[in-house]
Chain A
Amino acid sequence: MSTVPRGPADRPMSPHLQIWRWHITMATSILHRASIFALYLGLLLLAGWLVALAAGPDASATYEAVVGSPLGLLVLFGITVMVFFNLAYNVRQAFWDLGHGFQIKTAEATAWAAIAFGIAAAIAFWAGLVMLGAL
């Protein structure tokens, strides 16, 4: 009769974060987890915008004032970075699923590329907003 473990295994574990040397592939892995929380928040903000829109002009104006405040815009910019980073990271994972990109040099290069893409694409998007006169 076998038992299926329901909790942390009572056997040697891999090293904990505190004694592991930081490197870029683990940083992007953690950042990917963080991006999930950012995207979650972004979707709740989207649903909130829709509810405010349906509730009428007053609620809509209040929502715009909160999200359009400097802090709100900073949060939105952070979410934009995380959306683009998440996109790049998922492309990277798709190649992993096919068995490619596991060489250390390749994995490190694609990790940096995902971060660079996230930041560059977000800056390009917001620069586009400013140039269109939306902000």
Chain B
Amino acid sequence: MADQRFRTPRSVAAGLGSAHHGVHHFLVERVSALALVPLVIWGGFAAAGLIGAGHAAAVEWIAHPINSVLLGALLICGLIHAKNAMQVVIEDYIHRFVTKAALLLLNLTVCILAGALGVFAILKAALTGGF
């Protein structure tokens, strides 16, 4: 078909049916963004109180259940939001399949690792006093 290369992806996909998860990524980005608004504001105030306070004061602060839970929520929500945002950047600009797949996996790995390390560190500092 000579006109095939002039067809838009939309027209090629028309009639193939919905994949039924087209809006999932969009919704996750919106919901995580909403959750991040109060969390980031709280984090800003928390940071203002912690800068220069020293290790012992920071550990004492993090041992408070409200602080450890909110800090965990901030980190996890932020990483989910950032992972999805970076995924779109990769999908938009990297077209070679192998490079794209490798970068998407790297993105996922970095975010999950940062989340696992961060949550473990919160628990360790909160429960053992950070030594």
Contacts and interface: CB of A to CB of B under 8 A. Distances in A.
Interface of A: 2-11, 33, 36-37, 39-40, 43-44, 46-47, 50-51, 53-57, 60-61, 64, 83, 87, 90, 94, 97, 125, 128-129, 132, 134-135
Nearest to B36: A87
Nearest to B114: A47
A2 to B, nearest CB: 5
Given A40-B82, A46-B118, A87 B37 contact: yes
A59 to B, nearest CB: 9
A2 B11 CA distance: 10
Given A50-B122, A61-B55, A134-B48, A4 B9 contact: yes
Measured as residues with beta carbon below 8 angstroms from the partner, the interface class of chain B is 35 or more
A45 B49 CA distance: 18
A7 B95 contact: yes
B104 interface: no
A85 B6 CA distance: 38
Q: 8 tightest A-B contacts by CB?
A: A54-B121, A50-B121, A47-B118, A47-B114, A134-B51, A54-B124, A57-B55, A60-B55
B125 interface: yes
21 contacts: A4-B13, A6-B97, A7-B96, A9-B5, A11-B7, A39-B78, A39-B81, A39-B82, A43-B75, A43-B114, A44-B114, A46-B75, A51-B121, A53-B58, A57-B56, A57-B130, A57-B131, A87-B37, A94-B30, A128-B48, A129-B51
Contacts of A4: 9, 12-13
B124 A90 contact: no
Interface of B: 4-9, 12-13, 16, 30, 33, 37, 40, 44, 48-49, 51-52, 55-56, 58-59, 62, 71, 74-75, 78-79, 81-82, 85-86, 89, 95-97, 110, 114-115, 117-118, 120-122, 124-125, 130-131
